[in-house]
Structure 1
Amino acid sequence: MNHSKIRRLLLCSLLGAFASTGVISKTHAQTAPIPDWLPPAIIYSVYPEIFSEAGNLAGVTAQLPRLQKLGVTVLWIMPVTPVGQPFEGRPAFNSPYCVRDYYGIDPRYGTGDDLKQLVRAAHRHGIKVILDAVLNHTAWENPMLRQHPEYYKHTDADPKNVASIQQAFTYADVAQLDYNNPELRQYITRMLGWWVSEYDIDGFRFDAASNPPSANRMIPASFWKSLPATLQKIKPDLLLLGECLDPELARAPFSLDYGWNVGDGLKRAAGGESADAVRAAWLRQTDNYPPGMLHLSLQDTWDAPDRDVRLYGGPSGAMAAAVFNLTINGIPLLYNGMEVGNDAGTINPHQKINWKSPYRQFPAFYRDLIALRKRYPALQQGTMTWLPNSAPDQVLSYTRSGGGGEFLILINLSNRPVKGSMSASVGAGWFEVTPSGSPGGRKHTYSPEFSLLPHDFAILRRVLPSKSTSRRK
């Protein structure tokens, strides 16, 4: 288990707690444009080491036709740079976030030509490609540490003293960079631009972008805010995705960040807590951010404490969580293997994905659910209205409306059956479009009363004769 990444996860979760309680300032500089291709996106995170038997970039390229059929529109590739090794008494944890060379390709993954072939093939399949960028720290054996020790934080006042370079927080495998140095800022900005120009990528996912959650971030807000002016000159519709939940950085520069609080609410509901905490977290997240800001809908990631087929109370619980994440107004994130019910590994997994998982219902379920979202604008950018019901501890109920249509979604997040009723009528004309795999099958019809099996869900649709007048409640 990678203890360094566990600590990172805890710090990032702390950031989410600060954001949800409004501790972080709500001032916004709405400067970063949102790429046109982002609102309808389906993002797929891939860790090449575990994705195929070969464990390389070519193994990812070979699966692009399947990912296209699944409905993926954006491929986020976890770090492709060489990984740090134990060095002069410093440990290493085989973490891809321990960068040995900012301009290199990990030889286990292949070459620069392999990455170019992957990007070109992805573009032919209508899939954008974004890369992980780790800017807070480097491996101890990164040549920059000795060539430019002044680029790093020191425990003394001598910026040339290699021996006094400090580690990043409790992460013993990495050295912390010092963004008070303008030359480092220039170096990092040039390096990012080089990756865009050299490989024609479509954006970056910035690791631990607001860590720790305070004005003492490893990377100050002023650096982040400087990036769009430079990088979007190279590619105007470049995506800047921050691994953070920080209103100060919303739209300046990040047009997409992490919906940690809502995702944490889903996990807690699966563990027996009230499902209403999910709704409350969504409302806080919406109120704390500028209009148009988008958040990842999270379910399983490399940092998740376990795979989602166990984390949400079994495969049916994972499917219920997926229905929520693919029908709300966030940007859905699929972590590689979710679509087949992968059960291999826990936190920071290095085990190969189990593509032959016993949960045979998953592939068709995900194809149907993603196709539903991609087909109807209401599920992408439509208005989301929460509907009160008589069983809020178990059931989420809401509508999505737009583009001349409306959806009604009911999800039982608990492992208990539930009967209840809607507290308000939402009219008639509904028909069921629930994807395959629902515990209750396609037997749901709309009335003020509902009956749901454990982890059951229902998606109903109707055509609106005129523009919806529903409002967020």
Structure 2
Amino acid sequence: MAEPRREWWRGAVIYQVYPRSFADTNGDGIGDLPGVTEHLEHIASLGVDGVWLSPFFTSPMKDFGYDVADYLGIDPIFGTMDDFDRLVEKAHRLGLKVIIDQVYSHTSDLHAWFQESRQDKSNPKADWYVWADPKPDGTPPSNWQSVFGGPAWTWDARRHQYYMHNFLKEQPQLNVRNPEVQEALLSVARFWLDRGVDGFRCDALNFSMHDPALTDNPPVLTPGKRTRPFDYQHHFFNQSHEDIPAFLTRLRQVADSYGDDRFLVAEVGGERANEEMKLYTQGPDRLHSAYGFLYLYADRLTTDLVDRGPAMWPGGPGEGWPSWTFSNHDAPRALSRWVEGRDEKAFAEMALLLLMTLRGNVFVYQGEELGLPQAKVPFERLVDPEAIINWPETLGRDGARTPMPWKADNGFAGFSEAEPWLPVDPRHRALAVAEQEKDPSATLHLARRLIALRKAHPALRTGSMTMLDSPDHLLLFTRQEWDENLLCAFNIGHDPIAWRPPAGWGVVQAVNCSDPWPGELPPLAGLVLSEPR
């Protein structure tokens, strides 16, 4: 029986580029769009289906592009609209889809919409942001806390009101419930679809609507380590409102009007992320996929952690499609979170195989194909507001955002001719692209083989996933599609594990184990085996 037509994005591998740190072509120490275009051949050589670009829009860079001052403009540090058009054209010529960020929950305080909104209570955009009167004692209207620390409210003397911000005070909250705001945001989506993008990654989507009654959030009473005031509350009322899915349906209608090959994926974090990801992707008229922070914020890789993924997405009727990522610009690199003193190269390669065998789409963060560890950034070089506020309690985001190493012998690892905005970690030089290209045993070459493996096997790309009972540190699951049945086995522990594959099953891919048959699986070994037919 012939395989039915499958959407390009279902089971796809998408490569995330953080443009600020990818490649600098004009010598200012900051990556730019021409730098991405210049290295698209590297991305295409991995065999991925598409590229996701983190924000490059006009911004004062208080949150490095996630504080958008003009949704329709390119920030000059990244280039021009012509540069963007050339990037899209070349990517498409190389067979790569282009996904860009859309930030619909908030803007920069320098956005023209907010500048107008804050003038008074009666201007045409007065209700485009979330404004509220103080309590009788002058304090904020609710107890809501910002992700980056402190109240989620800032006083504005012009309106004699507080405005809401779930993140920095320079990121005022849009009133996405307002129909005019929705129309404006949908017009933004049309603008970029008209320029040829293939879809959107919707940032912090569950923050886009709140409880209009401004009900106080209840406290978290269970014990546990907390590094921010934000962590002391259940976020039932400052986000995650039940009206969000109706807006997503409108966004999906816009995307579908450009053809059935556009792709919409949501970023959804927080304690209710599991149910919200399912809600935002349920049925045929919402988003195509969603991802959360199950793996991104986990400090250890365990069998229980991996088990939770397929348990969340069992594949029931009307269910959406998951996406997974181990690392991105918002979290310390998985290698450094999970390696626990073991061999970094071996761990990076085992983790790549694990990622490629998960059911859903997978995002590969720039440098993950090289096995980059989290960079060490001294306090005096930190620029990320979250890293600075929480130092030294967390690894921070700066260490995941340092420049991509292209050459080992260049002054700044081939990223720039000038001092980069974040320092190059000396450990990254030996892992540079040019160095790994010369070494057949390098992680880069294995990454290409593993992505090709996923594309070659329907069971890995779109098949079902069933977790199997196994001893501690031995991770076993099957992937099945049509008449193909694969068994995936991983020793994620520190010691060998006694285990034999079922009789007759053949090795499709082995990582960190040259011979799986002696009766034990070495530490950090990964296997994909096929059932005999």
Q: TM exceeds 0.5?
A: yes
Change in 2 beyond 3 A, CA 1:388/1:277: same
Q: Specify which of 31, 52, 57 is matched with residue 23 of structure 2.
A: 52
Q: Give distance in 2, aligned partners of 1:414 and 1:155.
A: 52
Offset at 1:268? Answer: 2.5
Deviations along 1:154-208, one digit per CA (max 9) or x if unpaired, are 1239x996563514125222111112321111111111111111x1101100000
Q: Give distance in 2, aligned partners of 1:173 and 1:230.
A: 29
Match of 2:170, SS state, is: strand
Q: Equivalent residue for 2:14? A: 43
Q: Give distance in 1, aligned partners of 2:295 and 2:334.
A: 15
2:214 maps to 1:183: no
Query: Are the counterparts in 2 of residues 136 and 208 from structure 1 also a CA contact under 8 Å?
Result: yes
Q: Give distance in 2, aligned partners of 1:400 and 1:288.
A: 13
In structure 2, the gaps of 5 or more residues are 26-30, 117-124, 135-155, 211-234, 376-394, 409-427, 437-441
Offset at 1:338? Answer: 0.7
Q: Give distance in 1, aligned partners of 2:79 and 2:112.
A: 21
Change in 2 beyond 3 A, CA 1:383/1:182: closer
Offset at 1:215? Answer: 6.3
Change in 2 beyond 3 A, CA 1:190/1:207: same
Amino acid at match of 1:207: D
Offset at 1:286? Answer: 1.9
Greater mean alpha carbon deviation, residues 405-414 or residues 363-372: 405-414
Offset at 1:81? Answer: 0.5
Q: Give distance in 1, aligned partners of 2:317 and 2:366.
A: 31
Q: Equivalent residue for 2:201? A: 205
Greater mean alpha carbon deviation, residues 401-410 or residues 288-297: 288-297
Change in 2 beyond 3 A, CA 1:429/1:373: same
Q: Specify which of 232, 239, 246 is matched with residue 217 of structure 1.
A: 239
Amino acid at match of 1:253: R
Change in 2 beyond 3 A, CA 1:431/1:83: same
Offset at 1:439? Answer: 2.5
Q: Give distance in 2, aligned partners of 1:411 and 1:405.
A: 20
Q: Equivalent residue for 1:73? A: 49
Query: Are the counterparts in 2 of residues 167 and 173 from structure 1 also a CA contact under 8 Å?
Result: no
Q: Give distance in 2, aligned partners of 1:162 and 1:201.
A: 39
What aligned pairs does 1:25-424 form with structure 2 within 5 A after superposition? 36-54=7-25, 55-84=31-60, 92-93=62-63, 95-147=64-116, 148-156=125-133, 162=159, 164=161, 166-197=163-194, 199-211=195-207, 214=236, 216-217=238-239, 220-221=243-244, 222-244=246-268, 245=273, 246=276, 247-251=278-282, 252-261=285-294, 267-269=299-301, 274-279=302-307, 281-287=308-314, 290-304=317-331, 306-313=332-339, 314-343=344-373, 345=375, 347-349=396-398, 350-355=401-406, 356=408, 357=428, 358-359=430-431, 360=436, 361-389=442-470, 391=471, 393-420=472-499
Q: Equivalent residue for 2:217? A: none
Deviations along 1:219-266, one digit per CA (max 9) or x if unpaired, are 74122222112332133321111102412212352211115336656x
Amino acid at match of 2:322: H
Q: Give distance in 2, aligned partners of 1:173 and 1:122.
A: 34
Query: Are the counterparts in 1 of residues 478 and 485 from structure 2 also a CA contact under 8 Å?
Result: yes
Change in 2 beyond 3 A, CA 1:43/1:162: farther
Change in 2 beyond 3 A, CA 1:127/1:463: farther
Greater mean alpha carbon deviation, residues 217-226 or residues 231-240: 217-226
Offset at 1:410? Answer: 0.7
What is the root-mean-square deviation of aligned Cα atoms in Å?
A: 2.8
Q: Give distance in 2, aligned partners of 1:399 and 1:294.
A: 18
Higher relative contact order (CA 8 A, sep 6+): 1
Match of 2:529, SS state, is: strand
Q: Give distance in 2, aligned partners of 1:290 and 1:282.
A: 17
Match of 1:257, SS state, is: strand
Query: Are the counterparts in 1 of residues 201 and 266 from structure 2 also a CA contact under 8 Å?
Result: yes
Greater mean alpha carbon deviation, residues 124-133 or residues 221-230: 221-230
Deviations along 1:251-300, one digit per CA (max 9) or x if unpaired, are 352211115336656x423xxxx423421x12430249755522112111
Deviations along 1:284-319, one digit per CA (max 9) or x if unpaired, are 302497555221121111111x22331220332232
Query: Are the counterparts in 2 of residues 329 and 382 from structure 1 also a CA contact under 8 Å?
Result: yes
Amino acid at match of 1:444: P
Q: Specify which of 446, 452, 458 is matched with residue 527 of structure 2.
A: 458
Change in 2 beyond 3 A, CA 1:320/1:291: farther
Change in 2 beyond 3 A, CA 1:399/1:83: same
Query: Are the counterparts in 1 of residues 289 and 320 from structure 2 also a CA contact under 8 Å?
Result: yes
Q: Equivalent residue for 1:26? A: none
Please list every run of at least 4 consecutive aligned residues from structure 1 whose deviation after the TM superposition is greater than 6 angstroms. Answer: none
In structure 1, the gaps of 5 or more residues are 1-33, 86-91, 465-473
Q: Give distance in 1, aligned partners of 2:67 and 2:91.
A: 26
Q: Give distance in 2, aligned partners of 1:402 and 1:463.
A: 14
Q: Give distance in 2, aligned partners of 1:243 and 1:384.
A: 23
Match of 2:180, SS state, is: helix
Greater mean alpha carbon deviation, residues 343-352 or residues 116-125: 343-352
Q: Give distance in 2, aligned partners of 1:450 and 1:398.
A: 19
Query: Are the counterparts in 2 of residues 136 and 218 from structure 1 also a CA contact under 8 Å?
Result: no
Q: Equivalent residue for 1:5? A: none
Change in 2 beyond 3 A, CA 1:401/1:180: closer
Change in 2 beyond 3 A, CA 1:323/1:83: same
Q: Give distance in 2, aligned partners of 1:263 and 1:170.
A: 19
Q: Give distance in 1, aligned partners of 2:267 and 2:171.
A: 18
Match of 2:206, SS state, is: coil
Offset at 1:402? Answer: 2.3
Offset at 1:459? Answer: 1.8
Amino acid at match of 1:311: R
Deviations along 1:391-410, one digit per CA (max 9) or x if unpaired, are 2x201111222243322211
Change in 2 beyond 3 A, CA 1:207/1:290: farther
| TM-score normalised by the chain length of structure 2 | 0.70
Change in 2 beyond 3 A, CA 1:295/1:450: farther
Q: Give distance in 1, aligned partners of 2:58 and 2:259.
A: 26
Q: Give distance in 1, aligned partners of 2:500 and 2:532.
A: 23
Amino acid at match of 1:383: S
Greater mean alpha carbon deviation, residues 452-461 or residues 72-81: 452-461
